[in-house]
Amino acid sequence: MEDLPEALVTEIVKKITRTSDLNSLSLVSKQLYKTEGNQRGAIRVGSGLCTATEALTSLCARFPNLRKVEIDYSGWKPGHGKQLDNKGLFVFTSHCSSLTDLTLSFCSYIDDFGLGCLAYCNTLVSLRLICTPKITSIGLFSVAVRRTSLSALHLIDCEKIDSVEWLEHLGRYGSLEELVVKNCKGINHHDLLKFGSGWMKLQKFEFERKIEINHLFTSEDYDPWYDAHTTNIYDFCCESLKYLRLAHIKTWAEIGLRVVLGKCKALEKLCLEYVHALNDNDMVALSQSCSNLKSISLWLNLQCYSNESTTSFTDNTLYSLALNCRKLQIVDFKFVGCSPDWPSEIGFTQKGFLVLIQSCPVRVLVLNNAYFFDDEGMKALSSSPYLQTLELVRSCAVTDVGMRFIAHTPLLSSLTLPGCHNVTDFGIAELGHAHKLSLWPLSVVVGSLSKLCRVLPSQLTTPLALRTLLWTC
């Protein structure tokens, strides 16, 4: 090994990705030890980092070209030794000159003073703060002022971060392309609109509030006819935004992040999870400007209006998506709080849903509590030329008849049916009767272990059998 050219040894080390293998490799020879140390670009440390500052200094000396560092103290107890503190962060400025990506998780000994040290890490472009209880807006502002080159910022469970001067500064002078804010009580979605011109550069945006126990709101919170996109209250664009996720937030008619939906021309993936007070006008505005949309996830629960309970969107949303978003490949619909005895509580109907599926090249379809969907829907899906993955959760209107139809779907390779209680052993057996089944690498997840011994015994013993047959109870 000592006689191998250094360039060849370097190429060998680059091909090895598992950390355990790299650790073992470094024990083989001094040359490999040195080469592996120089090539290591990422480490993840935590509770085992005893005498934390000294240990981190040694690690940075051992791996001089570290670019990505994650310090994670989740599950930490006082008996595990001291956590990394403010002094430890000075190590990055003096011993880690290539650092570009830093994650601090559950670091309870680091405060604003320590965070300010990161302002002097000249190469830092990505910062993630996860459950750092002592860090406030002051520390974040000090980083924002000096590190305007940040391209990614994640704030998760940071309860003391409230004022948004740091956000306004990054919006005006920064270069953020990725912004994630989750469970930060001091930041609401109206504050995020102060990002201003920064929205132009943003490519990924996530905002999530903590789950509220009561999902039903009064009639004044939800107006199914209000159109927030006919006004110009907020003068900014999101033309670079490709990924948008909003979760557990409540918007109002005249104000809020709902206006972003009509400004995302490059959007490819949309996730709206329990966002209250949106309506069809918001989705129509979005679909008309997002012809590149490839993935949509709508998780809806009941909202109240004029003494009636219903989910936010109707078939008008589906028709608009079908007309304008012809690249849609992944569809995930979830309905919470609706009753199978009252399918009208769901604003979507099977007719509107099938228009969407038949207009777009949908490969992955997930329906959760979609009580409007039945065997006729399964029949329509069976002719879909693109569908590969189908997940039906608690679809009580789907029966063995529907299974007979879906068994003939041309490209279906994954079928998941948890909670579909009207699908019996006979329905699952319909999969075995399909002539094309032996050609499918089909993975099936159902809700009854009793079906295991009765289904497809001949196919299970053939070379062209199902690649994976997974049964869960």
Q: Is 3 exposed, middle or buried (0-12, 13-18, 19+ CB in 10 A)?
A: exposed
pTM score: 0.86
Task: Provide φ and ψ at 138, rounded to 5°.
Answer: -65, -50
360 SS3 class: coil
pLDDT band at 441 (very low <50, low <70, confident <90, very high): low
The DSSP-derived string for 181-243 is EES-TT--HHHHGGGGGGGGT-SEEEEEPPPPS-----GGG--TT--GGG--SS----TT--E
Of the listed ranges 181-195, 213-227, 327-341, the one predicted with least confidence: 213-227
Dist. CA 313–CA 311, nearest whole Å: 6
Cβ-contact 360, 397 below 8 angstroms? no
Q: Identify how many contiguous H helices and E strands the chain contains and give both numbers.
A: 15, 17
Q: Across the chain, what does the average pLDDT equal?
A: 84
How large is the greatest C-alpha to C-alpha distance in the chain, in angstroms?
Answer: 82
pLDDT band at 443 (very low <50, low <70, confident <90, very high): low
Mean pLDDT of 44-69: 85
Residue 397, by phi and psi: left (phi above 0), alpha (psi -120 to 50) or beta? Answer: alpha
Tell me, what's the pLDDT at 218? Answer: 43
Tell me, what's the pLDDT at 451? Answer: 44
What is the DSSP code (8-state) at residue 250? B
**Report for 10-14, 51-55, 110-114, 192-196: range of highest mean pLDDT:** 110-114
pLDDT band at 429 (very low <50, low <70, confident <90, very high): confident
Tell me, what's the pLDDT at 11? Answer: 80
9 SS3 class: helix
Mean pLDDT of 409-426: 89
CA distances from 351 to 96, 249, 355, 375 (A): 59, 29, 6, 13
Dist. CA 188–CA 255, nearest whole Å: 12
Mean pLDDT of 284-302: 94
Dist. CA 264–CA 46, nearest whole Å: 39
Tell me, what's the pLDDT at 461? Answer: 36
